[in-house]
Amino acid sequence: MSAEKPRLIRSVRLLDAAERRILSEFSAPAAPAHPLNTAELIELAHSFQAQALLVTHHTPLKGDDVAALPDCVKLVATVSVGLDHLDVAALNARGIAVSNTPGVLTDCNADLTMMLIIAASRRAAEYYNIMKKGWGHSLEMDEMLGHRVSGKTLGIIGMGRIGQAVAQRARGFSMNVLYHNRRQLDPSQEEGATYYASLEEMLPKCNILSLHLPGSSNGQPIITARTLSLLPRGSILVNAARGSLVNETALIDALRSGQLAGAGLDVYQNEPNPDPRILALPNVFMTPHTGSATIETRTAMCMLALDNAAAIAAGTPLPSPVTA
């Protein structure tokens, strides 16, 4: 008689390839018709007696939520790199392992970052609006001019996997790359990028600044009125990391005053309802938190989460464990 399949629930319907794998390898309820909230996930975990929970940032597990999980749960596998929605220490304290999906979304997030850099620099949102209104008149020589990306100096805050991938792409545009990080990388990883231990020393040299770090543990933004004032006037800010990294009031003021020529944003403090003042600004190119949103990457993320679920059931090491 075959062993019982590992018991698993997911908070959202996954991509087709992952759903087929669940049907083949796991015992699971039908895919939810809508993304489960935390209370619904916990209730289902109790009723189905799941060993593994697959979640996204839509379903946070913190504080009392962690305490409410049944003892049968041995793994929370988030289909994301970010962990802001999970209390990893509390989960680990209950003997529940945590996994995420690093690596597989690096290239797509870096690709999106380059799109934001180019779109913000070349006024893509404004050009698009002109075309949607029918265009109607030829632009003058000095009208609606953007900024060239090639040859500019790019500052990167956070030189992990994604930051390094962005730097690699920026070199294709002959950009000079600077970076600020908790530690200096090995020269083989820097590939010519210049390290600044002091953010304040790096910012005045940056034509474009791109953020690639997790949200701060204390919730304080790294981009404030002060840090924005240190950038050269007419710079570009790009954020495809976390909305909590940016003081949005300071960002709006800088965009209105011309301290920033433009911004490219994929993340916001209040998702999915960004500050209306940002939405109203003409010089912001915006995407709806879609850094990993390709078929290839989302499928790989789902599969890695399922790899972790299979490993916890088999008693083998997790492919991508997270510890507090």
The helix (H) or strand (E) run that includes residue 176 is strand 176-180
Asked if 289 is an active-site residue, the reply is yes
DSSP-based three-state secondary structure for 321 = strand
- Scanning 28-105, the segments in alpha helix (DSSP H) are 38-48, 64-68, 88-93
Using a 10 angstrom Cβ sphere, with 0-12 exposed, 13-18 middle and 19 or more buried, the burial of residue 92 is middle
Rounded to whole angstroms, the Cα distance separating 130 from 160 reads 38
The verdict on whether 242 is a catalytic residue reads: yes
The whole-angstrom separation of Cα 259 and Cα 214 is: 25
Catalytic residue chosen out of the listed positions 123, 212, 289, 298 = 289
Helix, strand, or coil (residue 204)? helix
Q: Is 104 helix (H, G, I), strand (E, B) or coil?
A: coil
**Closest C-alpha to 290, from 262, 271, 263:** 271
Could you say which of 10, 242, 248, 298 is catalytic?
242
Q: Respond yes or no on whether the N-terminal peptide bond of residue 288 is cis (omega within 30° of 0).
A: no
Contact 312, 322 (CB under 8 A): no
On the 0-12 / 13-18 / 19+ scale of CB atoms within 10 A, 251 is: buried
Q: Which amino acid is at 98?
A: V
**CA–CA gap between residue 305 and residue 93 (Å, rounded):** 21
Helix (H) or strand (E) segment spanning residue 166: helix 161-171
Indicate the SS3 state at residue 158. coil
Identify the burial level of 193 via C-beta atoms within 10 angstroms of its C-beta, where 0-12 means exposed, 13-18 middle and 19 or more buried. buried
- Which residue among the candidates 43, 200, 271, 296 is catalytic per the annotation? 271
Q: Which helix (H) or strand (E) holds 118?
A: helix 106-121
Residue numbers annotated as active site: 242, 271, 289
